[in-house]
Chain A
Amino acid sequence: MDLPLIVYSPEEYIETSTGNKVYKKASIYGSQNIVLSGKCVLQKDCILRGDLAPIRMGKFGIIGENSVIRPSFKNFINKGPQGSFIHVKIGDHVFIGKSCIIMAGQISSYCHIGDGAILGQSCVLKECCEVQAEAVIAPDSVFPPFSLIGGNPARVIGSTAPCTADMMIEATQEYYENFVPKTSARAALM
């Protein structure tokens, strides 16, 4: 089914010059450490903890309502007892659903994370992965490209379609286009 038209109030969201649509009251800490490459959507009440470590997000990234992105903490033997927070890298055309907790080290391009999924500390998702809703990924896990991940603890339970990259490009672009302010011409058609 086609993605629905989502109409937002222009007072609640701000659109940047690069096309990012960001909820004004979203808890975005350490904004100097957060890079959104353009045409990203940060929806209501999402939390980005850029104060802990840098967060870099590719273009057409969608973050659902109430989702949290917080860099993971790791102790390194060589770096003394304090340990450090690890950068979060999120690729292009990544869709993160509602109420997710993302503590991943890397989410590569064309990944889809279902509603309520929890990504454990420093886990790595390679390209074209799909995490099913409510899945809980163990810390430090690595998943190869085209993995369908589900369960608690999450495992590879299948593979995604070979044309996932094309489908994700289409889905994220359509989602961005359908996420419109009340004042737009498309919203008036509703």
Chain B
Amino acid sequence: MASLYQSDRNKYECSCGAWDSLGLLYFCRHCSVTRCSSCVLVELDCFLCQNCLESAPVTEARLKKNRCFACNFCPFCATVLTKKTCVNSGNTFLSCGVCRWSTRDAGIPDQSKTTTDWPMPENPLSKRLNEISGHFKDLETREKARKEKDTTKRRTNFGGFDASKFSDRFGVQKMIQARKKAIETPASTVESHVATADVPALPDDVFESTAAIQLPLNVINKQPLVEETTLLPVRLPLKGRKAIRCRKCEHHLLKLDYSPNAINYKISAFARNTIPEIRLSRGVELVVGQQSSILLTLLNHSENGMQIILTPDADDSAFEIVTESIDITLSPLDAADVLLGAEESKYSAASSSSSSNIVFQRRNRVGIRLDLCPKVDFKCLPLSLKFKNIHTTAKLETSADWKMVKVRVGLDK
């Protein structure tokens, strides 16, 4: 997990120029570039309730105004309310496990076991709002019909003998009639708001009353139209599950299985499975002006061997490079090796042109020592990572190319 390895310390450069930790990056094999959360297309896969984990299709979610009708949360502390049964009557009421608020406090009578119909706050302006939205829908239909009439090409033989004209087999006549009706019927009218000079004065106690101040801010946000005394349970909003596509080639980079609770991926293109991971082996203590060593671990999470050239970037001249570059071949990840506790991979072991910099080799990981001489105190080590992995391209016939990614290793404690 990110917090166990403190993987937020190490940032990788995305193809769009943003920096993010490796766990949050994707690698598109079709474009052969890294993608981050800001350069992908996100689409909603399905909706599900966070509490009962029931999924809802898009149309149903829209009808329910993106709320689950079975689950409610507390108007005070936003914790999900639990249904409790009264021993004597067998009826149920909702209760909050944190602040102990219950529907009984709100004066709502207990409901039967199967009910999900808890009273919801009514908007006093709902009638007026419906009227206005109906009016705009009507205007939209008329405008659309008029536009269609202008753009549709007139048929030259329309007046001649045509069997389809009488039978209306393809619904053309029906469509024309509907359009005609939409244009000819007079537009609905709504009463427009009229400015008035007759504004009621503020009550005298408005600056002294503390009723509105006592409510927490999140309550006012959730139920702005209800008074303090009539707080009601709030329906839980649905959560959208995301699928991710590459912005350029629109291939899927991430797609979960069909089931809303699934954690297995149908398609997953994590950068972690293509790009080698760099971690600090242990804490670093650098002394300005003295040659120091930074111990790093390189890991290969892919299923193929990987050739890596690691070079420190000294653009900002915060340090003087002692180790120019390290060239290593990493073994692939083998789950069986881990379970059997094997020390070395059965694949060819890591080889290096600069073996003096290798501290340890263990399965798919290699520990390296990077020597440098700091000129000033710096908190971030810039590295260039060139790697060759067959997974970087979707084309089967081509051989792997060298790819490069820039990495910043955080040296803060």
Q: Mark B291-324, 1 if CB is under 8 A from A, else 0.
A: 0000001000100000000000000000000000
Which of B3, B80, B341 has a CB less than 8 Å from the CB of A112?
B3
State how many residues of chain A have any CB contact under 8 Å with chain B.
Answer: 42
Which one of A95, A120, A132, A146 contacts B97 once the chains associate, using CB atoms below 8 Å?
A120
A139 touches which one: B1, B24, B82, B273 (CB < 8 A)? B82
Does A30 touch B at the CB level, under 8 Å?
no
- Point out the residue from A138, A144, A168 that lies within 8 Å of B98, measured CB to CB: A138
> Are A1 and B6 interface neighbours, CB within 8 A?
yes
Task: Give the Cβ gap from A120 to chain B, nearest Cβ, in Å.
Answer: 7
Interface string of A1-31 (1 = CB under 8 A from B): 1111000000000000000000000000000
For residues 130 through 162 of chain A, which have their beta carbon under 8 Å from a beta carbon of chain B? Answer: 130, 132, 138-147, 153, 155-156, 160-162
With a cutoff of 8 Å between Cβ atoms, the chain B residues found around residue A138 in the complex are: 79-80, 96-98
Whether B173 sits at the interface, judged by CB under 8 Å, is: no
CB under 8 Å from chain B, chain A span 146-186:
146-147, 153, 155-156, 160-168, 170-171, 173, 175, 177
**A141: which of B79, B283, B297 is its contact (CB, 8 Å)?**
B79
Partner of A3, one of B2, B5, B50, B283: B5
Report whether B5 and A77 are in contact in the complex, using a CB–CB cutoff of 8 Å.
no
Tell me, in angstroms, the Cα distance from A173 to B109 when the chains sit together.
53
The reply to whether the CB of A114 lies closer than 8 angstroms to some CB of chain B is yes
For the complex, count residues of B whose C-beta is within 8 A of A: 46
Residues 79-96 (chain A) with a chain B CB within 8 angstroms:
95
Q: Is B108 an interface residue (CB 8 A)?
A: no
Cβ of A152 to closest chain B Cβ, rounded Å = 9
Closest Cβ of chain B: how far from A166's Cβ, in Å?
Answer: 7
The reply to whether A165 and B282 form a contact with Cβ atoms under 8 Å apart is no
Give B333-344 as 1s and 0s: 1 = Cβ < 8 Å from A's Cβ atoms.
000001001000
A126 proximity list for chain B (CB < 8 A): 53, 261, 263
Query: Looking at B4, B9, B80, B268, which has the most chain A CB atoms within 10 Å of its CB?
Result: B4
Structural contact, A173 and B52, CB atoms closer than 8 A: no
Instruction: Report chain B residues within 8 Å CB of A95.
Output: 1, 4
B23 interface residue, CB < 8 Å from A?
Answer: yes
In the complex, A65 has a CB within 8 A of chain B: no
Q: Given the complex of chains A and B, what is the CA–CA distance between A160 and B23 in angstroms?
A: 10
Dominant secondary structure of chain A at its interface with chain B: loop
Q: Let me know if A163 and B85 touch, CB within 8 A.
A: no
| A153-B272 contact given A130-B1, A144-B239, A160-B2, CB 8 Å threshold | no
B-chain residues with CB within 8 Å of residue A3 when the two chains form the complex: 4-5
Chain A, residue nearest B98 (CB) = A153
B78 interface contact, C-beta 8 A: yes
Q: List, in ascending order, chain B residues with CB within 8 A of A166's CB.
A: 270, 272-273, 301
Given the known A-B contacts A120-B97, A163-B23, are A171 and B261 also in contact in the complex, defined by CB atoms under 8 Å?
A: no
Q: Please, how many angstroms separate the alpha-carbon atoms of A106 and B50 in the complex? A: 16
- Complex Cα–Cα for A125 and B167 (A): 62
| In contact, B79 and A168 (Cβ under 8 angstroms) | no
Q: Which residue of A lies closest to B284 (CB)?
A: A1
Chain A residues in contact with chain B, CB under 8 A? 1-4, 77, 95, 110, 112, 114, 120, 126-128, 130, 132, 138-147, 153, 155-156, 160-168, 170-171, 173, 175, 177
Can you list 30 pairs linking A and B with CB atoms under 8 Å apart?
A1-B5, A1-B9, A1-B280, A1-B282, A95-B4, A112-B4, A127-B263, A130-B2, A132-B3, A138-B79, A138-B80, A138-B96, A140-B80, A140-B97, A142-B51, A144-B48, A144-B50, A144-B53, A153-B98, A155-B78, A161-B2, A162-B23, A162-B254, A162-B270, A164-B1, A166-B270, A166-B272, A171-B1, A171-B4, A175-B4
- For the complex of A and B, list the 5 residue pairs with the smallest distance between their C-beta atoms, beginning with the closest: A161-B23, A112-B1, A139-B97, A138-B97, A153-B98
Known A1-B280, A162-B254; further 20 A-B contacts with Cβ < 8 A: A2-B281, A112-B3, A120-B97, A128-B263, A138-B80, A138-B96, A140-B80, A140-B97, A144-B53, A153-B79, A155-B79, A156-B50, A162-B23, A162-B268, A163-B23, A163-B270, A166-B273, A167-B2, A171-B1, A171-B4
* Residues of B in contact with A (beta carbons under 8 Å apart): 1-7, 9, 21, 23-24, 48, 50-53, 77-80, 82, 85, 87, 90, 96-98, 239, 254, 261-263, 265, 268, 270, 272-273, 279-283, 297, 301, 338, 341
